[in-house]
Amino acid sequence: MIANTPARSATAGSVPARPWPAVTREVAGDRVNRIVFAAVAAVAALGYSVLLPFDYTQRVSFANWQYFGPRYAAFTVEFALGLAWVVTLQVHAMRWIARTARRDTGRRRGGLAGALAAVVSLLPSLLCCSPVVPALVGLIGLPAATRLRTTGTITYFFATRQDWLLGGALAVLAASGVWSVRKLARASCLAAECCDVPAARGAAAAWAGRPGLGGDREPGQPAHGGLRASPGMEAAGERAPAPVPRPRPRALRRRRARRLGWAAAAAAAAVAAIAVVIAVTAGGRDTTAGGTNAAPGGAIPAVGSAAPDGTFTTVSGRTVTIASLRGRKTLLWFVATWCPSCQAGTQAMAGQAPRLRAAGVKVIEVEDYADLGQPGPPMSSFARQFASTASRDPGTFGTASPALTRAWNPHGYLDVYFLLGSSGRVAYINSGPASTMSQLLARAGGLT
């Protein structure tokens, strides 16, 4: 006798979930999956090894490998393996669906979380020590004074909390992998090797093949999904299978609409969070008191323009004006002492000091006023730590006045330098001397 319990569809869980270890062995035992895993892991490892040290050079270049230490190596291996596993799970599911289904009724799981993890892991490198934040803040139309406070605060957050952000991204990636395995374990579609016909519908078809339940509907018999029991079945106390639900386009549309609604809500929340950060940081520490000598339109001095005047104070306490540097080639470099690319650039600049002196270039490295509103080491200790003894001239390092910072660096770039000719005009502008030293030396050698 057949039980009176209605048959359930696959989506309702007609096939019991498989053990997670069995799913893992199934995925790992497939040759194509192993190839996908190895390829994704290799590409991801190469990408992360170049992108994670971006803070030190502000460039996507293989030169970043010189700053690729054990800390970045550990994050790279973990991200590469995690991302490769999530992608392999998705490929495995899609291959099963493509192989066994006549129409696509499956859906990838964990893809959004995996993509989010990859993006979040790169935020520290892409937002710190790069023009991304100043450019975004500039689009809002904030004045130069507010830009200095806002961009400094945001980039400082990413620069000093990179490990926390990378760890959070790694956690999202791990959760995505666990979620994907869970979905595969509970996917009756894959377990039953069928992605189109639910188990309950197959049971109903079996009932239809029994005597008295032919495929042709008798007069008065309900349509598909409402089979009628034969007299023999009724006498035996058996019941026909329960109606089998068919997929409803309206229900599918509502489900997709809900997913789109959640995605839109998440995007709106992200935009709101950025707006809150900007609103909060805009009222932070003042970095502009004492002058409004900003370049026209709040832009940095252009190549060929006269060098704006201003003052800076050397680590020995002497006040120097930009006008007094006229008559010799000068490299005026604005830094933040907490910026990784500034630290790496200072070491590179110290190593090339003899060549710069041979080209007749005097290097002036000045800290942006108040370190762009964020706590950092004083310039004197910064120079002692990152500049060699031979290049540690007290007149080379100093702190810019508020007016000088606003005139030369109104957007608050963490690492930007200007090569000035002996005539006092700007000849070359760039950033990240750790990765642009060859271009700087070439320009300095041909400058008059």
Give per-residue pLDDT as tens, 175-204.
888 888 888 887 755 555 544 434 444 444
Alpha carbons 398 and 366: distance in angstroms, whole number: 5
CA pair distance 105, 88, nearest whole angstrom:
19
Nearest to 117 by CA among 185, 66, 180: 180
Judged by average pLDDT, the poorest of 55-64, 78-87, 262-271 is: 262-271
Under 8 Å between Cβ of 295 and 147: no
pTM listed for this prediction: 0.64
Tell me what the mean pLDDT of segment 245-270 comes to. Answer: 61
Among the residue ranges 134-148, 314-328, 373-387, the one predicted with the least confidence is 134-148
Whether 140 shows a pLDDT value over 60: the answer reads yes
pLDDT of residue 313: 93
Sign of the dihedral through C-alpha 133, 134, 140, 144: positive
Q: What tokens does 73 get?
A: 């190596």
For the stretch 235-244, pLDDT in tens is 555 555 555 4
Round to whole Å and give the CA distance between 332 and 412.
Answer: 15
pLDDT for residue 381 is more than 50 = yes
Q: Which domains does the chain have, with CATH numbers?
A: 10-191 (no CATH), 199-235 (no CATH), 296-445 (3.40.30.10)
Residue 387 has pLDDT above 80, yes or no: yes
Name which of 161-175, 229-243, 297-311 the model is least confident about.
229-243
Q: How far is CA 413 from the centre of its chain?
A: 20
Q: Mind listing the pLDDT tens digit for each residue in 85-136?
A: 988 988 888 777 766 654 444 444 445 556 666 666 767 776 776 667 777 7
What is the per-residue pLDDT for 288?
34
Confidence of residue 375 (pLDDT cuts 50, 70, 90): confident
Q: Within 10 A of 444 (CB to CB), how many other CB atoms are there? A: 21
> With the C-alpha atoms ordered 367, 370, 376, 380, is the resulting torsion angle positive or negative?
positive
The pLDDT > 70 percentage for the chain reads 59
The residues, any chain, with a CB within 8 Å of residue 113's CB and separated by 6 or more, are 86, 172, 173, 175, 176, 179
| Angstrom distance (rounded) from CA 162 to CA 51 | 13
Average pLDDT, integer, range 408-424? 88
Helix axes 162-186, 111-127, angle to 10 degrees: 170
Q: In the prediction, which pLDDT does 114 show?
A: 60
Greatest mean pLDDT among 227-236, 259-268, 274-283: 259-268
Question: Could you write out the DSSP letters of every residue in 391-415?
Answer: G--TTTEEEE-HHHHHHH-TT--SE
Mean per-residue pLDDT of the chain: 73
Report d(CA 289, CA 213) in Å as an integer.
90
Query: Residues 414, 148: contact at Cβ < 8 Å?
Result: no
pLDDT for 183 = 81
